[in-house]
Amino acid sequence: MSNDQIVEILELTVKLMELHNADTFKTRTLANATFNLDRFKTANLAELPVEELVKIQGVGKSMAQKIVQLVQTGHLPELDELIAQTPAGVLEMFKIKGIGPKKIGTIWRDLGIESIQALKEACENGQIAKLKGFGAGTQQKILDSLAFMESQAGKLRMDKGEALAAIVLEELQKHFSKVGITGDVARKNEIVETIQLLVATESPVAAAHTINQLGWLVQHPKESSPFVWRGTLRDRTASTDELPPQGEEIEVKKTIEAHVEIIFTAPEKFENDRFIFESSEAHLALVTSSGHTLFQIANSDSVENVEAIYQKANLPYVVPEMREGWGELEWLAQHQNDELITWNDLKGILHNHSTYSDGKHSLETMARFCKELGFEYLGIADHSQSAAYANGLREDRIRIQHEEIDHLNHKLAPFKILKGIESDILGDGSLDYPSEILATFDYVVASVHSNLNMGIEKATSRLLTAIENPFTTILGHPTGRLLLAREGYPIDHKTIIDSCAQHGVVIEINASPWRLDLDWRWIRYCMEKGVMLSINPDAHEKEGYYDMHYGVGVARKGGLTKSMTFNALSLTEIESYFQKRKK
């Protein structure tokens, strides 16, 4: 059990204690201990005995014993008891933005509401606004949050979609000779609505029977047909890797049932149908010089591979990621596929966190692992002082970190750690430190983390002020979105990108599967304006570097080339860039 999982369980316990109006002193004590445990990064809590746990601020002997019991049994009796007393629909309400446990408790007890649907109806009838301490504003926030939740129901982020598709693929390959992942996962869509696979078989009926014998794939007969199996995959790992980015609100978890679609095709038509189901409808509707659409060409004679379809259409090959009908042919009129960015093109990783702020691993551990992966440099960009929730760096700790970086750079040469900071963009658009402190960094990632409820004018103005600051090097996760959990604040993308072009600011593609922000649909406009993009993992532990694969996936989807990727620059090139910019 990881530290994050332990903290998540304790946080849920605190929320439920507040919901049930438990003893205020006990609730506050547990909340305080949980807060300090969340900031504890020096060891794995699961490996510590009671004698060591009590040394952590706010953790008494009783609390330490609870942690040991949780690690050993996987259960916390107090939490089990609280969950047993709480209707499932009330637990679901914890996902709603804008209301906490106290307000949820009021809704439950005063109105007897125990489901999301009943809550929605109460909002629509005006009942919620009449509750003491609520009002029309809170009622509307609940309705907005419920509408967003409804629109995202059943969908998966890219990482979960890819992982589950790989599980299904591996199982189907035991029974069928030709199987391929198609649909959203094949096209590297940031949101996966359906896990779709293609199976070659001479007998669709027998194939469906084989799939139904697996047990964990559950067919929906009314939605299926003789040639398409539709159903759900009961995700057995849903609660193990669903933690949001550090410092973000944690949701109540539930088992995910992913939508699955398995299409049966004749073996000789496998490559034709692979192309069709790897491509969006808009791509398939593109008209070729012969007057036929790509779909018509693909749906004719059998081919040996997908490339043959493009040859028949007299068109250049389009990689699956770009088959969206989003100007991919216009892109290919100016570029070659081998110009698209790849993992191997990346020379370094910028925007990462260590135990100096809210990271899990030490600066040296982060650096050594980055070097082991073959990169030339690591940009460390811990949180700035205003991010108190993330143990942001005050000025004295910046000096200590920089001294350690100098020491490690001597040990790890020619690999180098670059001195960065993720500076909070404050409410007025200013950065989080005075100029003399900002000048000590090699580069600055400027990001918004607070006051997210902004209209488009305020949000755009706030970012413009930060972009105009001469110390801003990279604009971090520009909209602050958390996919399937929180919409980003609205911004005028063109105005922001134009300003970055004017002031020489790089824009981040935050590679965390929770963010993937900047949205890929704006990548080509950035390139047209000469704005470079930096694919950053926002890693809070060394394994977070692997999120770069998701960032590369959406970058390729948007047509990002190696030449326009900031961290495809070599160490020498990026240091030269920083030096010129500082001058």
pLDDT band at 245 (very low <50, low <70, confident <90, very high): low
pLDDT digit string (tens) for 392-439? 999 999 999 999 999 999 999 999 999 999 999 999 999 999 999 999
Report the 10 Å Cβ neighbour count for 499: 21
- Give the pTM: 0.85
Phi-psi region of 497 (alpha: psi -120 to 50; beta: other; left: phi over 0): alpha
Question: Is residue 481 a contact partner of residue 504, using CB atoms and an 8 Å limit?
Answer: no
Share of the chain above pLDDT 90, in %: 85
Nearest residue to 577 (alpha-carbon basis) of 509, 511, 504? 504
* Helix (H) or strand (E) segment spanning residue 553: helix 548-557
Helices (H), 191-305: 204-212, 270-278, 281-284, 294-298
Contact 571/554 with Cβ under 8 angstroms?
no
Burial class (CB in 10 A: 0-12, 13-18, 19+), 73: exposed
Q: What is the mean pLDDT of residues 152-165?
A: 92
Range name among 36-40, 79-83, 334-338, 578-582 with the lowest pLDDT average? 36-40
More confident residue, 99 or 251: 99
Strand partners, 218: 232
Question: DSSP H helical segments within 183-243, as ranges?
Answer: 183-186, 204-212
- Contacts of residue 81, defined as CB under 8 A and 6 or more positions apart, other chains included, come to none
pLDDT of 248 > 50? The answer is: yes
DSSP per-residue codes, 491-543: --HHHHHHHHHHHT-EEEEE--TTT-BS-GGGHHHHHHTT--EEEE--BSSGG
576 pLDDT higher than 90: yes
List the structure tokens of 504.
């020489």
pLDDT number for residue 443: 98
Helix, coil or strand: residue 571: helix
One-letter amino acid for residue 347 of the chain:
K
In angstroms, rounded to a whole number, what is the distance separating the alpha carbons of residues 216 and 235? Answer: 8
Question: What is the reported pLDDT for 582?
Answer: 86
Domains (range + CATH), the chain: 3-151 (1.10.150.110), 154-265 (3.30.460.10), 270-334 (no CATH), 343-582 (3.20.20.140)
Q: How far apart are CA 128 and CA 106, in angstroms?
A: 10
pLDDT at 183: 97
Letter string b/e over residues 158-180, b meaning 16 or more CB atoms within 10 A of that residue's CB: bbbbbbbbebbeeebeeebeebb
3-state secondary structure of 317: coil
5-61 pLDDT, tens digit each: 899 999 999 999 999 999 999 999 999 999 889 878 778 899 999 999 999 988 999
Instruction: Check whether 244 has a pLDDT greater than 80.
Output: no
Instruction: Measure the CA–CA gap between 267 and 262, rounded to whole angstroms.
Output: 15
Number of Cβ within 10 Å of residue 576's Cβ equals 12
Split at pLDDT 50, 70, 90, the class of 166 is very high
3-state SS, residue 283: helix
Strands (DSSP E) contained in 111-227 are: 156-157, 179-182, 191-192, 195-200, 217-219
| Integer angstrom CA distances of residue 338 from 162, 195, 234, 332 | 24, 28, 38, 11
pLDDT reading at 485 higher than 90: no
pLDDT of residue 176: 97
pLDDT for the residue numbered 246: 56
High-pLDDT (> 70) share of the chain, %:
96
How many other CB atoms sit within 10 Å of the CB of residue 332? 17
Residue corresponding to tokens 């991010």: 387
List pLDDT tens digits, range 121-152.
Answer: 999 999 999 999 999 989 998 998 898 888 88
Select from 425, 440, 420, 442 the least CA-distant residue to 538: 420
| Tens of pLDDT, residues 260-302 | 999 999 999 999 999 999 999 999 999 999 999 999 999 999 9
Is pLDDT above 60 for 253? no
Measure CA 116 to chain center.
25
- With tokens 């890797």, the residue in question is 241
d(CA 351, CA 349): 7
User: Distance of alpha carbon 186 from its chain centroid, rounded?
Assistant: 18
pLDDT tens track for 515-563: 999 999 999 999 999 999 999 999 999 999 999 999 999 999 999 999 9
Q: How far apart are CA 419 and CA 428, in angstroms?
A: 25
98 pLDDT higher than 80: no
H or E stretch covering 84? helix 77-84
**Residue 312 CB-density burial (10 A; 0-12 exposed, 13-18 middle, 19+ buried):** middle
Looking at the predicted structure, is the pLDDT value of residue 369 above 90? yes
> Highest mean pLDDT range out of 36-45, 161-170, 228-237?
161-170
Amino acid making up residue 308: A
Amino acid, res. 355: T
Once rounded to an integer, what is the mean pLDDT over residues 314-337? 97
On the CB side of 233, CA atoms within 13 Å amount to: 27
Average pLDDT, the chain: 93
H-helix or E-strand containing 34?
A: helix 24-39
Structural element, H or E, at residue 380:
strand 377-383
Q: What is the pLDDT of residues 186-232, one digit of tens each?
A: 999 999 999 999 999 999 999 999 999 998 899 999 999 999 999 99
